[in-house]
Structure 1
Amino acid sequence: MGKTVLVVAEKPSIAGALASALGHGRHMTRPGAARACVVHEFSGTFRGEHGWKFRVTSVLGHVFSTDFTQQYNNWNAVKPVELFDAEIRKVEADGKSRVVEHLRKEATGADALVLALDCDAEGENICFEVLQVVAQTFSVKPAVDPREYQKYFGRWIFRARFSAVAQKDVLAAMSKLTEPDWNESSSVDARAELDLKVGVAFTRFQTRYFQDRFGNLDSALLSYGPCQTPTLGFCVARHDRIQAFQPQTFWRLALIARSSRNQGHSISLSWERDRIFNKDLCRAIAAEISSSPSATVTSVTEKKGRLSRPKALNTVEMLKMASSRLGMSPHRASHVAESLYTQGLISYPRTESTRYPTTMDLTGMVRDHSRHPYWGSVAVSLLQDHPNIAMPKSGVDVGDHPPITPVRCSDEREVGSSEHWRLYELIVRHFLATVSPDATYIQKRATVTTRAGDERFLVSGRVVVNPGWTSVTGTAGLSDEPFPDLQKGDELDIAKVDIDESETSPPGYLTESELIGLMEKHGIGTDASIPTHINNIEARNYVKISSGSGGARRVVPTPLGIVLCHGYHRIDPDLVLPKIRAHIEKEIKRVAKGEAACADVIFNALSNFKAKFQYFERKMGMMDELFEATFSSLADSGKILSRCGRCRRYAKFLPLKPTRLHWWFNQAVL
């Protein structure tokens, strides 16, 4: 009787794509114990041996989640500080989904297991979750320490890693099966335990503290998160800069001149000084220039310029572009990109790399798009000029996944919704831009010096030599800027001297793109979690998203978000500044590389945060003054509802989140 191999993917759609690739389009599909997880069956070759029966199915993301043991889940029975030393456990992520039952059933009778989970740290962690579930069906006792499974690696446990679900990528992954990475998995567990204990301890304490004092917070949960709160901190820091900004009036001169060489056409000249903050001085200079209204061209220069083509696309840059160009939130963009990946349209969308691997067939990838109705002409032109596309030298290969690229050419109908199409097009055009020539131009500049006062003014222009990649991206490309016919020594007549008055302006609120950049720069979150942190601060009513000029999505902190951040700064700035979290992320990366012990990293981080929590708890009154200036006390909030049947006193109803009843005479809250 033939042997059976169970292949487990991370999502049902990926399982379907794997089955199509491995079964060459010939497979039977049946339901599984988990309603959402079907099973694809076919016969094929496994590790060079014919006659194997394949069962390809999936989980639904994480099989388990990290949580406290039961006694710590009662807010009223446990002090928040106790959570730092609390016992944790793995619980089914969704018991109703029946994924655990499904895996055990499908593993029954299997002789080998291929873990085809996503190729990132989370995927490695899910590998070990699956192993814990199916071990007994392979006559192996579930391990207390998952590292015990390592002795079975290469015997019946295998790991398939791929960055795209195209058939060639899947077959290549199955031809070089590897092992699950315990260190990567441990790094996920470390982050989960730290975020759970730190986040829940602070969240429980400050939620109860403020909801028992103020009635119009309009937030059911005042959450704290080691990544979420520094993210909010960036937004509030920009808000504070805006509020502290003091506008200054300035003046600048602008000249209108004419020359015989330009047939009397007007030439606009800008002041080399740009602006000054002394009105009387500006008027005096203008008067002096007007007293002898002529000038001389003292220099004319030409300089070759170049705009380098963009680097290959990684996750952070994709999220920034989706927000700034498409008006798509990072959270939504990450979901759409994941969908495009599962459809087999783009490569794996979570990567830090910005350099293509040397094995990537860029020429073939460009050729695939040569017949596309929208950008096919770009691909054809590239291949005509460069039959063998050269590998770009810029960028960094982090070693996780290749950059995000289109996997196959597709049209709007196949891609699906408008959101999916716009993100797909952005990814395709960016890819084509990365293998297009640099944009080149000639920058021209003339310096004009007035006869009176020797004030220097400038005029510039540009001639595009080759628009290169800028004509590919679908955005406003590089264009010519007219330059007057001027030569050194030409005399100009000054027709008009203008004095323009204006004010300095404050910076704008952070755009989502800028916020993502700050998070990446300071090590807050990962390429996979950044969208979640931004979404969380919006969901908690700490910020609002405002569409500003040009459609930019700007992150504006609410009064609640502002007061919370100011309070953290007043008690312990480390709670909101990115320094501590950035250090923790570095330590977690060391765990992933096997350079640090998971237990040591967790112990050190929790010890630090526990001490900070105890100080925060003692100094909480320092935040009251800030909250009192913004929010109403319980006694001053709500409206009289009814008389209590027992004490005959009236209660007030507070309609904002969370809805509560308050008795003013004894400060009781329900």
Structure 2
Amino acid sequence: MSILIIAEKPDAARRIAEALAEKGSLKSYTDENKVTYYEFERKGKKHIVACAVGHLFNLAPVEKGWRYPVFSYTWKPSYEVSKQSVFSKKYFDVISKLASKASDFIIATDYDTEGEVIGTNILKFLANRNDAKRMKFSTLTKDELIESYEKASPHIDFGQLESGLTRHELDWLWGINTTRALTLALKNSAEKGFTILSSGRVQSPTLAILLDRELEIRKFKPKPFWELELHVKIDGTEAVAAYEKGRIWKKEDADKILQACKGKDAKVKDIKKKKYKQAPPVPFNTTDLQAEAYQQFKFSPQQTMNIAESLYQQGFVSYPRTSSQKLPPSINYEKILKALASLPPYKKFAEELLKKEKLVPVEGKREDPAHPAVYATHEVPDLSKLNAQQRKIYDLIARRTLAVFADEALRETNTVSLDVNGYIFLLVGKRTLEPGWTKIYEPYLKREELILPELNIGQTVKVIKLEELAKETQPPARYSQGSIIKEMEARNLGTRATRAEILQTLYDRGYISGKSIQVTKLGEAVTQALKEY
């Protein structure tokens, strides 16, 4: 008899087997359907590692037919529930065969609510067991996998399991009933055709948020205003000063100032210099990573998660689905920085940080009991073997990992008040005095640097021209894929693991379009129907 370890994905199964196998004992087997599992010895016991491919079981109605309301449901093999999951049958069959020969079980799926449901359903329906040992890890590095095996919990995490099952059941009940109600209403009113109009417990409120912004934009009425820009030359350098009161709401007022200042030079009335510190950014949680990747690379949240997952499966970054903005000492800061120092892009930064007397990361407020923030592990990649997208996400995570240990940046603003015939214009210079963490995160920063020449109060400054700019107030910006993910998190809609998938579903259903997200006519009709009925 053997101990069967159940992993969530093929790469994870391979890394677990490679990490735990005693020297010379690792064997791999691939069946006729090209499903691979692993066998090895550890402490005199035979172990088998097999993988699922996500959920091997999904909820389905007990009764057949397209009616609602539906309140009777059961778990069925995923390949029986959805045509898109037919591929999972070959993994189902392999685990079923191996489970029948196993004496003990260890769940080694991702340590979150989804992973708990995946592992426990396999345990329940294919092994006829209700409990097993549980490995808990946040990286697929060898040392952490060995530690998670040695310190495996004697039981599955029943709290996470109940949370996961409850969410699955609520989502399923909401989704199937509102989807069928919408779809059948359309079918009965049109008396022709059959188009599925999906709805969901998180999907529908998210669409409503997007529509509210869309309606806000439509109702917006622009209001005209004017701005005055004073172009000056100081020691051969041209600079632009803005009228101190900003927007001018009446054109005659702007014209009056323009006329009064015409042909006049400016005098320095006041100079105020202010130094301020900029703290390093906090470590990435899932939402922060998705938002930053969208801002920097225009990667969709789902795309970012797929790339981060591929890096995690290779052991290069920690588990990418986390709410945490904290890095505990247990991850071994020094070991990580020494490893990053072996990579040319990060060598000088890591070596400089290692000279610190004590390594203390800047941390955010958010916590996650299951996983720390996303960070680059001590198992570093050969950067030349990463594809272009993986390289971008890895660089983002690696630089953020380094930056959180760095010193604050010291910046200075230099605000010069220029008097033109009694009207004040502000010239603002900005410069970095001590770069601190910003030199590490430089590729992803947009900082304004304007170093003004030294000026004295009472000094005359040559005016090149004074411009009157006619402008209009702008409607609120549409949500981007990055900002809507942050809004969902702020409103506690969905989970770190599901938000990207839900957003993608809205696109796939034709409810929204574009990177600057617009709600389609179909999306608007569905939302209005749900609100009305």
TM norm structure 1: 0.74
Which residues of 2 match residues 187-336 of structure 1 at below 5 A?
187-213=163-189, 220-257=195-232, 262-263=234-235, 266-290=238-262, 293-336=264-307
The farther-off stretch of 14-23 and 182-191 is 182-191
Quote the residue 2:45 is aligned against.
52
Change (3 A) 1:562 1:133: closer
Quote the residue 1:6 is aligned against.
4
Asked if structure 2 preserves the Cα contact closer than 8 Å seen for 1:272 and 1:457, the reply is yes
Q: Do residues 512 (structure 1) and 481 (structure 2) align?
A: yes
Change (3 A) 1:323 1:493: closer
| CA RMSD, 1 decimal | 2.4
Quote the residue 1:29 is aligned against.
28
Secondary structure of the corresponding residue to residue 308 of structure 2 = helix
Quote the residue 1:171 is aligned against.
146
Change (3 A) 1:378 1:99: same
Q: Shift in Å at residue 540 of structure 1?
A: 0.6
1:364-412 Cα offsets, whole Å, 9 max, x none, are: 211112131323232233334x264323354433222011112222133
Change (3 A) 1:487 1:94: same
Quote the residue 2:432 is aligned against.
464
Change (3 A) 1:516 1:18: same
Change (3 A) 1:422 1:220: farther
Which residues of 2 match residues 643-658 of structure 1 at below 5 A?
none
Counterpart CA distance in 2 for 1:518 and 1:201 is 26
1:331-386 Cα offsets, whole Å, 9 max, x none, are: 222122212111112111111100101222112211112131323232233334x2
1:525-549 Cα offsets, whole Å, 9 max, x none, are: 000000111001100101112xxxx
Counterpart CA distance in 1 for 2:286 and 2:410 is 28
Q: Shift in Å at residue 298 of structure 1?
A: 2.4
Quote the residue 2:350 is aligned against.
379
Asked if structure 2 preserves the Cα contact closer than 8 Å seen for 1:470 and 1:477, the reply is no
Secondary structure of the corresponding residue to residue 76 of structure 2 = strand
The farther-off stretch of 7-16 and 406-415 is 406-415
Asked if structure 2 preserves the Cα contact closer than 8 Å seen for 1:467 and 1:478, the reply is no
Q: Shift in Å at residue 463 of structure 1?
A: 2.2
Counterpart CA distance in 1 for 2:232 and 2:291 is 43
Asked if structure 1 preserves the Cα contact closer than 8 Å seen for 2:403 and 2:440, the reply is yes
Asked if structure 1 preserves the Cα contact closer than 8 Å seen for 2:6 and 2:106, the reply is yes
1:191-245 Cα offsets, whole Å, 9 max, x none, are: 122222221112112112224445999x932111111111111221221122111
Percent identity between the two aligned chains: 25
| Structure 1: gaps of 5 or more residues | 46-50, 137-141, 150-156, 546-552, 572-615, 617-670
Secondary structure of the corresponding residue to residue 102 of structure 2 = coil
Q: Shift in Å at residue 486 of structure 1?
A: 1.5
Quote the residue 1:611 is aligned against.
none
Asked if structure 1 preserves the Cα contact closer than 8 Å seen for 2:22 and 2:42, the reply is no
Tell me which of 526, 545, 549 is aligned to 2:495. Answer: 526
The one-letter amino acid of 1:28's match is: K
Quote the residue 1:67 is aligned against.
60
Change (3 A) 1:344 1:352: same
Asked if structure 2 preserves the Cα contact closer than 8 Å seen for 1:357 and 1:397, the reply is no
The one-letter amino acid of 1:170's match is: L
Count of paired positions: 522
Q: Shift in Å at residue 36 of structure 1?
A: 5.3
1:249-271 Cα offsets, whole Å, 9 max, x none, are: 2112222345xxx4475553210
The one-letter amino acid of 1:403's match is: A
The one-letter amino acid of 2:279's match is: S
Secondary structure of the corresponding residue to residue 224 of structure 1 = coil
Asked if structure 1 preserves the Cα contact closer than 8 Å seen for 2:283 and 2:363, the reply is no
Counterpart CA distance in 2 for 1:301 and 1:368 is 45
Q: Shift in Å at residue 121 of structure 1?
A: 0.8
Quote the residue 1:536 is aligned against.
505
Q: Shift in Å at residue 477 of structure 1?
A: 5.2
Secondary structure of the corresponding residue to residue 311 of structure 1 = coil
Quote the residue 1:103 is aligned against.
95
Counterpart CA distance in 2 for 1:25 and 1:537 is 49
The farther-off stretch of 498-507 and 311-320 is 498-507
| Structure 2: gaps of 5 or more residues | 81-85
Asked if structure 2 preserves the Cα contact closer than 8 Å seen for 1:37 and 1:59, the reply is no
Secondary structure of the corresponding residue to residue 208 of structure 2 = helix
- Asked which structure has the greater CA Rg, the reply is 1
Q: Shift in Å at residue 519 of structure 1?
A: 0.4
Q: Shift in Å at residue 456 of structure 1?
A: 1.6
Asked if structure 2 preserves the Cα contact closer than 8 Å seen for 1:253 and 1:500, the reply is yes
Q: Shift in Å at residue 493 of structure 1?
A: 5.0
Change (3 A) 1:482 1:280: same
Counterpart CA distance in 2 for 1:409 and 1:43 is 27
Change (3 A) 1:393 1:194: closer
TM norm structure 2: 0.91
Q: Do residues 113 (structure 1) and 105 (structure 2) align?
A: yes
Quote the residue 1:182 is aligned against.
158
Q: Do residues 559 (structure 1) and 530 (structure 2) align?
A: no
Counterpart CA distance in 2 for 1:133 and 1:174 is 24
Q: Do residues 486 (structure 1) and 486 (structure 2) align?
A: no
Counterpart CA distance in 2 for 1:36 and 1:194 is 36
Q: Shift in Å at residue 100 of structure 1?
A: 4.3
Q: Shift in Å at residue 14 of structure 1?
A: 0.8
Counterpart CA distance in 2 for 1:206 and 1:133 is 34
Secondary structure of the corresponding residue to residue 3 of structure 2 = strand
Asked if structure 2 preserves the Cα contact closer than 8 Å seen for 1:117 and 1:124, the reply is yes
Q: Shift in Å at residue 326 of structure 1?
A: 1.6
1:114-134 Cα offsets, whole Å, 9 max, x none, are: 111110011112232122135
Asked if structure 1 preserves the Cα contact closer than 8 Å seen for 2:35 and 2:90, the reply is no
Counterpart CA distance in 2 for 1:395 and 1:435 is 17
The farther-off stretch of 477-486 and 221-230 is 477-486
Asked if structure 2 preserves the Cα contact closer than 8 Å seen for 1:511 and 1:555, the reply is yes
Secondary structure of the corresponding residue to residue 115 of structure 1 = strand
Change (3 A) 1:430 1:391: closer
Counterpart CA distance in 1 for 2:463 and 2:388 is 54
Change (3 A) 1:18 1:266: closer
Quote the residue 2:18 is aligned against.
20
The one-letter amino acid of 2:30's match is: P
Quote the residue 1:92 is aligned against.
77
Q: Shift in Å at residue 494 of structure 1?
A: 4.3
Asked if structure 1 preserves the Cα contact closer than 8 Å seen for 2:267 and 2:420, the reply is yes
Tell me which of 299, 313, 331 is aligned to 1:342. Answer: 313
